């Protein structure tokens, strides 16, 4: 079936995959592109309007703009579509503006097989069709990332795009030919954060502190936010290395950092790097729990950030807040053991209670390759007391270690390893319960140890371990943004993921209504409705 007659039973994504994403020239011949010039007038605009209307499938919300140069009406009036020699972004802008007037709103566009060689031809697409969900640019001639950036990279540019096809464009094909397919996918995911399908394949949906905008096929439920992840927090993760090596290093490093910091110069490699950054924001959970205003922690109010922001012989290296350009970036990265120690000696005095309260620290460690050698990566999350204020800070510290060679400065001073890299992040205090093994909190809950859900319901029936395992497995197939809501219904009612989804969808994703509805009908539900 040609794309002009896309079936009404297919989803927008399926239409592109079935049609626009797999179109080839049936005769296998590359047709010559004639050179034509046209002036834009009233009659010309009418021809373009008729062209757009002829290519529009309102029922499917699909606009087929493939092979425009072969369109007989455009040839008859000597009009130059995008991609034709002599065409300009002006023609494309006219087409996209006319498309913006179509009803219902355009959801899918295929611009496949148009020989488009510049992203500038697409520069007005996001302006006129900001809610576009599916776009095929298959078999065009886009060559550089700059071409792609005409439709991505800034606020307001195709923020709702869920499916994109670039198969047959040099910008994609060259990356794969040179073994950089993963880099290509990563770059595309970074540029289009809402994307779920790239070149007919699903891509991992990244979610850093700000998720992508949802498309029309996956509404984000309104209601209380989730309080736990489907998976549980595990204990410290140490693999591929003897735990004693990690333990011995940390149990010596932190007390030395607290009491004899200057002597640590011996454990840093001559070319080691050290940097630190300060995150001054108080975490939401910590703010709600009152750690920074509590009478039980009066010293928190005495802490000041100036020594971290401007101290350390170069200041905080928070690259997200760098305001002084390259000089600041260079001055805040300390290279060499002596320079690293000079910076550390200008930081506040600390006490890390690694011996007395191990539950306040979380350690992960594993081997990492560097060339032909194997090093060790260690990540530590924890807290320390800062003097003289005696308030508590939280911190993250990441080390890259290598074995200390015989005769080296580190080995002569009793160290079995040498530090190659040391990155320290100092944060406003937040309780160590965040990494306590068990359910992972994702939302602050008033009162430590609170188990009530965000909807105010008490926990539902006891679910067997097999039921929990089944729930966790089935939740993996649920949209990430819907998953927490579905999980809460499962936990409150004992329903399976499928029945919980149905319950939420039939009640407009209102959890109060969903649970009330469940209470009304639970006696009529079949046994397989429950975990």
- pLDDT at position 443 is 52
Residue 489: the pLDDT is: 86
In which residue ranges of the chain is pLDDT below 50? 1-39, 204-218, 222-224, 322, 324, 444-459
What's the number of CA atoms in the CB half-sphere (13 Å) around residue 1? 12
**Which CATH code is given to the segment(s) 465-529?**
1.10.8.10
User: What are the residues whose beta carbons fall under 8 Å from the beta carbon of 73, sequence distance 6 or more?
Assistant: 47, 50, 51, 54
In 3D, which of 346, 368, 400, 385 has the Cα closest to residue 254?
385
Alpha helix ranges (H) inside 211-278: 243-259
Q: Which of 491, 515, 492, 494 is nearest to 503 (CA)?
A: 515
**Dihedral sign, Cα of residue 3, residue 7, residue 11, residue 14:** negative
Classified by CATH at the fold level, domain 233-434 comes out as Nuclear Transport Factor 2; Chain: A, (3.10.450)
The pair of structure tokens assigned to 177 is 């030919």
- In 331-479, which ranges are E strands? 334-335, 349-351, 362-370, 373-387, 391-403, 417-428, 438-441
**What is the bridge-based pairing of β-strands 362-370 and 391-403?**
unpaired
Cβ-based neighbour number of residue 250 at 10 Å:
20
Instruction: Give per-residue pLDDT as tens, 186-207.
Output: 788 778 877 888 888 876 433 2
Nearest by Cα to 238 from 379, 129, 346, 122: 379
- CATH 3.80.10.10 for the 44-202 domain, yes or no: yes
What pLDDT, in 10s, does the model give residues 150-168? 888 555 688 888 899 999 9
**Could you give the CA distance from residue 145 to residue 148 in angstroms, rounded to a whole number?**
5
Is the Cβ–Cβ distance between 426 and 308 less than 8 Å?
yes
Query: Quick one: tokens of 428?
Result: 């406003």
Domain boundaries, the chain: 44-202, 233-434, 465-529
515 near 455, Cβ under 8 Å? yes
Judge whether 416 and 247 are in contact, CB under 8 Å: no
| Closest C-alpha among 499, 295, 278 to residue 395 | 278
Q: How far apart are CA 49 and CA 51, in angstroms?
A: 5
Beta bridge partners of 384: 393
């Amino acid at each position: 079936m040609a794309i002009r007659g896309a079936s009404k039973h297919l989803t927008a994504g399926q239409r592109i995959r079935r049609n626009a994403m797999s179109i080839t020239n049936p005769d296998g011949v590359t047709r010559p592109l004639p050179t034509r010039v046209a002036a834009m007038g009233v009659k010309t605009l009418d021809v373009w309007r008729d062209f757009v209307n002829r290519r529009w499938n309102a029922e499917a919300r699909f606009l087929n703009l493939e092979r425009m140069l072969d369109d007989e009406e455009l040839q008859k009036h000597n009009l130059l579509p995008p991609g034709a020699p002599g065409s300009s972004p002006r023609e494309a802008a006219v087409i996209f503006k006319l498309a913006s007037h179509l009803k219902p709103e355009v959801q899918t566009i295929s611009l496949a097989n148009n020989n488009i060689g510049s992203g500038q031809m697409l520069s007005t697409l996001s302006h006129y069709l900001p809610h576009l969900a599916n776009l095929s640019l298959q078999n065009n001639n886009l060559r550089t990332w700059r071409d792609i950036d005409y439709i991505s990279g800034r606020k307001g540019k195709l923020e709702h795009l869920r499916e994109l096809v670039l198969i047959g464009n040099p910008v994609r094909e060259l990356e794969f030919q040179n073994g950089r397919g993963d880099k290509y996918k990563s770059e595309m995911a970074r540029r289009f954060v809402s994307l779920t399908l790239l070149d007919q394949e699903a891509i991992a949906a990244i979610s850093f502190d700000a998720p992508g905008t949802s498309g029309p096929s996956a509404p984000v439920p309104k209601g209380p936010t989730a309080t736990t992840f489907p998976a549980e927090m595990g204990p410290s993760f140490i693999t591929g290395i003897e735990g004693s090596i990690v333990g011995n290093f940390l149990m010596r490093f932190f007390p030395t950092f607290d009491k004899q910091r200057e002597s640590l110069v011996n454990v840093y490699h001559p070319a080691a790097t050290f940097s630190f950054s300060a995150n001054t924001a108080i975490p939401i959970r910590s703010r709600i729990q009152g750690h920074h205003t509590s009478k039980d922690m009066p010293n928190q109010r005495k802490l000041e950030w100036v020594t971290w922001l401007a101290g350390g012989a170069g200041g905080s290296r928070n690259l997200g807040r760098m305001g002084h350009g390259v000089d600041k970036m260079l001055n805040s990265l300390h290279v060499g053991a002596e320079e690293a120690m000079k910076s550390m000696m200008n930081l506040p005095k600390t006490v890390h209670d690694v011996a007395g309260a191990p539950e306040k620290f979380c350690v992960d460690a594993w081997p990492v390759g560097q060339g032909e050698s194997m090093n060790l990566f260690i990540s530590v999350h924890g807290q320390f007391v800062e003097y003289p204020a005696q308030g508590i800070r939280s911190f993250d510290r990441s080390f890259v270690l290598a074995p200390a060679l015989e005769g080296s400065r580190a080995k002569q001073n009793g160290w079995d390893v040498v530090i190659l890299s040391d990155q320290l992040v100092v944060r406003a205090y937040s309780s160590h319960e965040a990494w306590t093994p068990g359910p992972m909190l994702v939302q602050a809950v008033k009162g430590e140890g609170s188990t009530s859900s965000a909807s105010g319901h008490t926990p539902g029936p006891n679910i067997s371990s097999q039921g929990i395992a089944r729930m966790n497995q089935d939740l993996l197939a649920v949209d990430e943004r819907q998953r927490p809501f579905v999980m809460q219904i499962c936990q409150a009612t004992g329903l399976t993921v499928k029945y919980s989804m149905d319950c939420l969808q039939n009640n407009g994703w209102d959890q109060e209504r969903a649970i009330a509805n469940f209470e009304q009908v639970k006696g009529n539900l079949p046994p397989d409705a429950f975990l």
